[in-house]
Every structure is written in structure tokens, then in C-alpha cells.
Amino acid sequence: MTRTGTRLRPDERTAELVSAARELLGEVGYERFLPAEVARRCGVSEATVYRYFPTRHALLVRVAQQWFDEILDALDPGVVVHDGTEEQLRYVVRYAVEVVRREPTLTRYILNELRPDPEFRATSIFRSNRRFTGIVSQVLRDAVARGDLRDDVGIDLLRDMVFGGIEHQAWAYLRGEGEFSTDRTTDGITTVIYRGMAAHPSHPSHPS
Amino acid sequence: MTRTGTRLRPDERTAELVSAARELLGEVGYERFLPAEVARRCGVSEATVYRYFPTRHALLVRVAQQWFDEILDALDPGVVVHDGTEEQLRYVVRYAVEVVRREPTLTRYILNELRPDPEFRATSIFRSNRRFTGIVSQVLRDAVARGDLRDDVGIDLLRDMVFGGIEHQAWAYLRGEGEFSTDRTTDGITTVIYRGMAAHPSHPSHPS
Amino acid sequence: MTRTGTRLRPDERTAELVSAARELLGEVGYERFLPAEVARRCGVSEATVYRYFPTRHALLVRVAQQWFDEILDALDPGVVVHDGTEEQLRYVVRYAVEVVRREPTLTRYILNELRPDPEFRATSIFRSNRRFTGIVSQVLRDAVARGDLRDDVGIDLLRDMVFGGIEHQAWAYLRGEGEFSTDRTTDGITTVIYRGMAAHPSHPSHPS
Amino acid sequence: MTRTGTRLRPDERTAELVSAARELLGEVGYERFLPAEVARRCGVSEATVYRYFPTRHALLVRVAQQWFDEILDALDPGVVVHDGTEEQLRYVVRYAVEVVRREPTLTRYILNELRPDPEFRATSIFRSNRRFTGIVSQVLRDAVARGDLRDDVGIDLLRDMVFGGIEHQAWAYLRGEGEFSTDRTTDGITTVIYRGMAAHPSHPSHPS
DNA sequence: AATGAATGAGGATTCATTCAT
DNA sequence: TATGAATGAATCCTCATTCAT
């Protein structure tokens, strides 16, 4: 994309490479990700890519890392702002929907390619990833502790229904098999989870 | 795995190849699936694989097809047997859990590699797949029509929460990030969906 | 083509194989000639082909041999029947045109694949081939000896202009680049060769 | 052949590859042409060949193209220089003889493999090829228009006798079945065509 | 006599990675 | 710092040929 051709400071070049790599990963997925294409998009040689990243894998990991950090930096502050279990839940679900929807391949890469890696737990992505999916878990956990949600279904299962549901929706959308409204998906998932787990079913919520 | 070394009848050899291919696909996934490895596991040459399947893709498709048919043959009859929305839902969810849990990579292959293929809708897997995911949708749809479930959340989203949730659970399990009890997963998902969508919240169900 | 399925006497089976092989060779050419396809056309197994012919090459050689013999058996008697150099020439040219036109690939195979073979001169095709192209040479040689044609151009060159010209015409025809009239080609070549070599130019011939 | 071992500039490497490929094509023909052998002859890896040419076919086409261009650049200017039908004819025939004689396999490749290709007419070789064979046709056509040659035999047939005759002569020569003197072949063909087609047979030419 | 099963030896093409300049 | 050239190790697929039954 960015066609520089000129010499860049190492941090600029790195940023450019990561940016192009993120786009590419989002477009073609992990297996079809070619370092050569990243180089091409930056207007540099393949060797330059390897100057900044020792392996293809390292570049991919860096992409995930940076991407996650951006997401979390934007997400984190907002959580506390919302009052009430349902509103907090809706907020994080909406955020997850927006993220996954915007970059389903990237999400998939992190969730499915990076996490299974034996060395994953040693990576700093591990921590970031935990922050990302964990933030949903935390909202749920807090709600349970507060007595707003029941505890008869595991938090991890609820979290998986949220992320799995979003992911499947996104893929169906990309395949052209259905619409993908952020609102509709957010409200639907929030509603099901909240109504399904609410400790006090007397005040059912209404999806928009 | 199976080391025959002997000559087999075509149907036997085919069965052996499909079986080994299914295992391999389950282990390494679509992209890392090598016909040569299938051959090795069957104790035959690579050329033998190509004697029975014209292309790598054809073998993979056959694996998916046969596997699906086995699943569906076992699943179908049972649905009608169960009375009540929640029980029917629990039954199909349990089945899906067992299937996805047993072969998560295979599931991913069908969901992510086969479905996006432009020619997918012309395949017989398409029909099988529709039968598979459709059976969940149908149970939900029937329940809505019967007035047992509300209609304020789309069927497709519910279905995605079911399959997405199961898939994520299975992956986390395989990654050693958590337990995976068929009962717990089945009950959890069924409960969330049912309680979250039930038209008459007066009689909440209890997960085991 | 012939679908027997039954057991044949060796000579019958051989004949059937050679016949199918000839057709195939004519259709696809030497390099794309697959023994498996010959077997398929005869309704027998590949192994049966190898029962009768030790190698692919042997089968191909046999095809050429038999084909040549048939041609020569039909051609030979007719030569003497014609009176006059030009008529004899026209006769053999017409025959060559018909042969090449009908089976250009086969001709090509013999002319270009078989002849270069180091062992070619030891083959019986060598003799047959010499009879085939030699018959044209002989007609020319006789005419020179009789004083009807000059001797200032080598017989082999004339023969090559005849066969090369026919072959190129046939290929252009097959490519759809032009018509191919047996009469027109025969008369054209005969005329050029005869008029160009005639010792007594006072009676120029007229092509039809 | 050329064993460099060193790093070459792209144009040098390309030239070396094309050169080696031309030689190889001339030796073994289209079907037996292996990119791996080209690599071996240049002392580089097979991958290097594919760095410069996306496919085997592309390399072959490039060989043909470049080769043709060299030929035509040398041939073209000379035609106009010669006076008289017979001299012009002799000149282009001589040129064709030299070309075909030097590289009969290459000629065959262009004539038989490239020309039949459906996309051939879109290639730049198409234009080059037309220039090549067309130059003979043009000389003949001009002579007919001028009244020097009769019009009772089609130009295309005459052209085919020229090229076909040359090709067969070259092959026989390569096979060791006869001598191949450029002069003798040129004069022979020119003589036959000219004497056979001359409108005024009173001044027959004398082959050397 | 016939064959069905099986394969060894290719053979075109891809791509992450290295290294001399 | 940057790179252009180069490649080793795959990877899918083909086909003439063998051999136990």
C-alpha cells in the first residue's frame, strides 16, 4: 500500500511492514500469507522483511500482538463506564462483534493458529489474548459475583458462545450467506446470554 | 496406522484410505494434509492414493462426505423421538457436541474450507451440511412456531452460537485450556439458549 | 472401440490392440499416447496390453509396421498400371496425399519419431518405410533413367518436397488454416515437380 | 554448458537461460524439454529458472520469440536488394534453408506446438512467424502479379513445398541419412519451384 | 489367458529463507 | 541499511510397467 521507496527509520519501517502484514493476513489468512507480498506492498525487497523479522512466524506474531494491543487500549477504558450487567455485557459483546466482524481472518488466526502453538503461553500475545477474551469473562464473572447472573453455566462456555457465535456469523456473512448487522448480532447475543443467565427473570430485556 | 502390505479389494483399500485420511485431516488440518502421509499410514505408495482419488481435493471431499453421512444417519431418527422443545434441543445439541468434540479439525474443514468454495452448493456435502446444521435450525424454528420460543433473535444467530460455542469449547479443550464434558457443554448451551429464548420463563430448567 | 469382454485368440486380440492403438496414435500423437487408453478402448486391462507387447514402444512400432504394410500392399500393384512419367508420378503423389491426409499424426510419428531411433535401421519398419517413401523415389529415378526427367536435382530432395509439402498442407488443414483438396494438392505437387524437372518442356501439363 | 557459479545481472542470467533453453530445445524437442536440465546447464537451481520465467511454457515461448526476431532482423533487409524473381526466390529459400537446417527441432516446435495453440494468434510469435513464412509467400505472390510465375498452383502449396522440403531434408541429414548442402538444397528447391512455375519456360535456369 | 492392484521414477511449480554486495 | 539473486525442500500429480492370483 504505502509506497515509500525511501529509507525509513527502523521503527517507521517496522510499523509499515506490520501494517501491510496485518492487511494481508486479514485478506488471505494465515496459510496463504506470503512475506513476498508484504514486501511488494511496502515497495521493499523480501530481504528487508527478513531484516526486521527473523521469520515469517515472527512477523505474524508481531502483527497479532500489535493489533491486540490497539484493540485492548481502546476497549479497556470503556468497560467501567457502563452501569449494569446487561449494559456492560452489551458493550463488550458489541466490541467483540466489531472486532471480529472487521477482521475475521485475523481473529481466526489468533484464535486458531497462535493459541494452539506450544510456545503460545510464553508469548506476550498470550497475555493480550487473555485480556481480550478475558474481558468478556471478567464482565460475566463480576456479574455472577454480584448476583446478577446465575453460576450454573461455566463462564468459559458463555465466552465461547459469544466468540464462537460472532465468528460463525462473520464467516457466513463473508460467504454471502446472510446479512451481518452489528446491532442485530450484538443485541441477539447479549439478549440470549443475559436472559438465559439472569438471576432475576422478572425483567426480561428487549432486543432492539 | 493400518499396515497391511497385502493386496486389498478396492472397497477395502478405499475404506482404509478414507479412514487414514480422516484421521490425518483431524490431526493436522486441511492445509497441512499431505496425500503422501495418507499413503505412508496405509503402507502404500503415493501413487496408490491417486489410483483411488484423482486429486487431493477429491479425497478430502470424500472424507467429509462419508463422515457426514455417518453422522446424519445416526442423528436423524432420534430427533422425532424426543418430546418437548427443551429435550429436542438438548438432543441435537448433544449430538453436535459429540461430533464437533470428536473431530474439531474435520468440522473446521467442512465449515471453513468446503463451504466457502464456489462449487460447494453443487456438492452433495452441501446437502449433508444443510441437514446437519439445518437440523438444529429446524428444531429451533419448530419451537418458535409452536410458541415455545420467542422470535426476537434470529434462528441463524442461535445456530451460530450453538456451533460456534461448541467449536471453541472443543478447541480450548484440545489445547488443554479447559475441560470438556459432553454433558456440561450440552447442558450449558441448551440451558442458555432455552432459558434465553423461552416464551414462558416461569419454569426455568436446571442444568445438571 | 471394439468392446469384446470375451476371450479372444491371441491373433485376434493382437489385431484388436493394434487397431485401437493406431486410432489413438492418429488422434493424440506419439507423446500423448497412453497404453492405458488403448486398454480402455479394447475393454481389457492394461496388463493385457503388456501381455502382448513388452513395451509401449513395441506396440507403437507394431502399429507403424502393420499400417505401412497395408499401405504398401495397396499401393504397389497400381504403380505399373500407369503409363507415362507424369501419370505415375501423379499416382504415387495422390497416394501419399491420401495417406498423409488421412493420418497425419501417424505419418508424423513414423517420419519423425521412429526414423531417428538409433535402432531404426534394424527394424523391419525401416524396410517398409523405405518401400513407402522409396516408391516415390523409384518412380522419379526411373523417369530420370528413361530420360523423361532431368537429373540436376537430387531424388531425395524431390521426395522431401513431395512429403514435406503434403505434410505441411495437412497440418495447416488440421489447424483450420486452409482447405485440403486431395485433387488440388496432388495436381499442384505433381505439376510443380513434373514441370520443374521435365526434360522436354515443350508440353507443359495443366493442373486441373 | 556455461558454468558461471557467480551472480549475474538479470539480463545476463535471462540471456544465459534462454540460450541454454534454445540449445536444449534444439536437442531434445518440446516434449522432452525439462526446465531442470536448463538449470543444470546454467549451473543454477531449478528455482532460479522459475525466478525468471513463470512457467516452462513461458520460457519456451521466449526462446521462440527471441530466436525468430534474430532471424527476421537478419533476413528482412536483404529481400529488396535482389533483382529478378528467381534471385529473390533463391535468396529467401537459402535463408529458410539455413534457418531450418541449423535448428530443425526449434522450427518444428514453432510450427507444430506453438501454431496449433488457440492463443497463438494473439502472440507476438504469430506476427513473427507470419513475417517468416510470409516473406516466401510474398516473393511468390509478387512474381505471380508481375507475370513471372503462373498462378495455376496455390501460393500456400508452394510455400509448403519449400518449408516441408527443407524440414525433411534437415531431418534426414540429422539422422545421418544423407548429406545436406545448403547450396544444393537451396538451388534444388529454387530450381524446381521456379522452373515448375515459370510463365516463360524459354530460359530455364541451371542449378549449380 | 487375463487382470486388478500397486508403484518407482519422475516432473512442473512454490516459497521461506540466505547471503554477498 | 538495503537488496537482488539464488535456492533447498517440499508438494501435487502422472504414467509405463510389474506381479500375484
Confidence of residue A3 (pLDDT cuts 50, 70, 90): very low
Q: Label residue A35 by pLDDT band (50, 70, 90).
A: very high
Q: Is the CB of C28 within 7 Å of strand F?
A: no
Of B102, B96, B98, nearest to B22 (Cα)? B102
What digits encode the pLDDT tens for the residues D45-56?
999 999 999 999
Instruction: Say what the pLDDT of residue D53 is.
Output: 96
Judged against a pLDDT cut of 90, whether residue A128 lies above it is answered with no
D112 in contact with C at a CB cutoff of 8 Å?
Answer: yes
Q: Is B5 left (phi over 0), alpha (psi -120 to 50) or beta?
A: left
Range picked from A65-69, B120-124, B127-131, C85-89 for highest mean pLDDT = C85-89
- C112 interaction partners in chain D (CB closer than 8 Å): 108, 171
Where is pLDDT greater, at C155 or C71? C155
pTM: 0.84
Q: What percent of chain B lies above the pLDDT cut of 70?
A: 91
Bridge partners, B149 (sequence order) = B198
A38-50 tens-digit pLDDT: 999 999 999 999 9
A15 touches chain B (CB under 8 A): no
Q: Do residue A165 and residue B169 have CB atoms under 8 angstroms apart?
A: no
Q: CA-CA distance, A40 to B77, in Å (whole number)?
A: 55
Question: Which residues make beta-bridge pairs with C198?
Answer: C149
Residue B154's region, left for phi above 0, alpha for psi from -120 to 50, else beta, is beta
Whether residue C207 is predicted with pLDDT greater than 70 in this model: the reply is no
E-strand spans in B166-207? none
Protein residue at shortest CA distance from C1' of E4: C45
Does A3 contact strand F, using a CB cutoff of 7 Å? Answer: no
Q: Are D166 and D101 in contact (CB under 8 A)?
A: yes
What positions of strand E are covered by protein, i.e. any atom < 7 Å from a CB? 1-21
Strands (E), chain B: none
Same fold for the pair C10-54 and C57-197: no
Distance (Å, whole) CA A136 – CA A128: 13
The C-alpha cell 438444529 sits at B136
Q: What is the DSSP letter of B121?
A: G
- Cα separation, A156 vs A137, whole angstroms: 7
Confidence tier at B121 by pLDDT (50, 70, 90): confident
Q: Is B188 in contact with A153 (Cβ distance < 8 A)? A: yes
Question: pLDDT of A134-173, one tens digit each?
Answer: 888 889 999 999 999 999 999 999 999 999 999 889 888 8
- CATH of B57-197, picked from 3.30.930.10, 3.40.50.170, 3.40.50.300, 1.10.357.10, is 1.10.357.10
Distance CA A126, CA A122 (A): 7
Q: How far is A185 from chain B (nearest CA, A)?
A: 7
pLDDT at D201: 64
Looking at chain D, which residue has its C-alpha nearest residue C184? D153
| D184 neighbourhood in chain C, CB within 8 Å | 154, 157
Tens digit of each residue's pLDDT (9 = 90 or more) over A81-122: 788 899 999 998 998 888 888 888 888 788 777 876 777 777
Please give the mean pLDDT across all residues of chain D. 87
- Going by C-alpha positions, the residue among C172, C114, C116, C103 that lies closest to residue D171 is C116
Cell of C141: 529415378
Q: Which nucleotide is nearest to C31 (CA to C1')?
A: F15
Which positions 40-99 on chain D have a beta carbon less than 7 angstroms from any atom of strand E?
A: 46-47, 50, 54-57
Which cell numbers in the block locate residue A12? 517507521
Question: What's the mean pLDDT in C187-196?
Answer: 97
Instruction: Tell me: pLDDT of A205 over 80.
Output: no
Kindly write down the DSSP assignment for every residue of D50-84, as one continuous string: HHH-SSHHHHHHHHHHHHHHHHHHHHHHHHHH--S
Of B95, B114, B113, give the one whose Cα is nearest residue B163.
B95
The DSSP call for residue C31 is: T
Joined together, the cell numbers standing for residue B167 give: 467449536
> Distance between the two ends of chain D, CA-based, in angstroms?
39
B166 to A169: CB separation less than 8 angstroms, yes or no: no
Alpha-carbon distance A73 to A91, whole Å?
15
Q: Tell me the residues of chain B between 153 and 182 that have a Cβ less than 8 Å away from chain A.
A: 153-154, 156-169, 171-172, 174-175, 177-178
Q: Is A22 in contact with A106 (CB distance < 8 Å)? A: yes
Tell me if A80 sits within 8 A of A139, measured CB to CB.
Answer: no
pLDDT band, residue B114 (cuts 50/70/90)? confident
Q: How confident is the model at residue B80 (pLDDT cuts 50, 70, 90)?
A: low
Strand E closer than 7 A to residue A50 Cβ: yes
Count CB atoms within 10 A of the CB of residue B55.
Answer: 10
Q: Side-chain half-sphere of D167: how many Cα atoms within 13 Å?
A: 24
Closest by CA to D197, choosing from D142, D122, D116, is D142
Distance from CA of A196 to the nearest CA of B (A): 3
Nearest to A65 by CA among A141, A131, A11, A138: A131
Residue C8 pLDDT class (50, 70, 90 cuts): confident
Contact between residue D120 and residue D130 where contact means Cβ atoms under 8 Å apart: no
- CB of D5 under 7 A from strand E? no
A39 compared with A201, residue with greater pLDDT: A39
Q: What is the dihedral of CA B25, B29, B33, B38, to 10 degrees?
A: -20
> Do residues C164 and C156 lie in contact, with contact meaning Cβ atoms separated by under 8 Å?
no
Instruction: Report the chain B residue with the minimal C-alpha distance to residue A192.
Output: B196
Residue position matching grid coordinates 462483534:
A97
Quick one: pLDDT at residue D78?
A: 64
Helix axes A124-146, A155-174, angle to 10 degrees: 120
Q: Are C189 and C167 in contact (CB under 8 A)?
A: no
Q: Which long-range contacts (CB under 8 A, 24 or more apart) does A49-55 make?
A: A49/A17, A52/A10, A52/A13, A52/A14, A52/A17, A53/A17
String of DSSP letters for D156-192: HHHHHHHHHHHHHHHHHHHTTSS---HHHHHHHHHHH
* First-residue to last-residue Cα distance in chain A: 39
Asked whether residue B56, judged by its CB, lies under 7 Å from any atom of the DNA or RNA strand F, the reply is yes
Q: In the predicted model, is pLDDT for residue C82 greater than 50?
A: yes
Architecture of the structural domain at C10-54:
Orthogonal Bundle (1.10)
Task: Decide: CB of B40 under 7 A of nucleic strand E.
Answer: no
* Sequence ranges of the domains in chain B: 10-54, 57-197
Question: Which of C115, C161, C197 has its CB closest to that of D161?
Answer: C161
User: What is the Cα–Cα distance from D109 to A122, expressed in whole angstroms?
Assistant: 60
Lowest mean pLDDT among B102-106, C28-32, C127-131: C127-131
Determine which helix (DSSP H) or strand (DSSP E) holds B51, and give its type and residue range.
helix B46-52
Give the CA radius of gyration of chain B: 19
- In eight-state DSSP terms, residue C113 is I
Q: What's the CA gap between C71 and C93, in Å, rounded?
A: 13
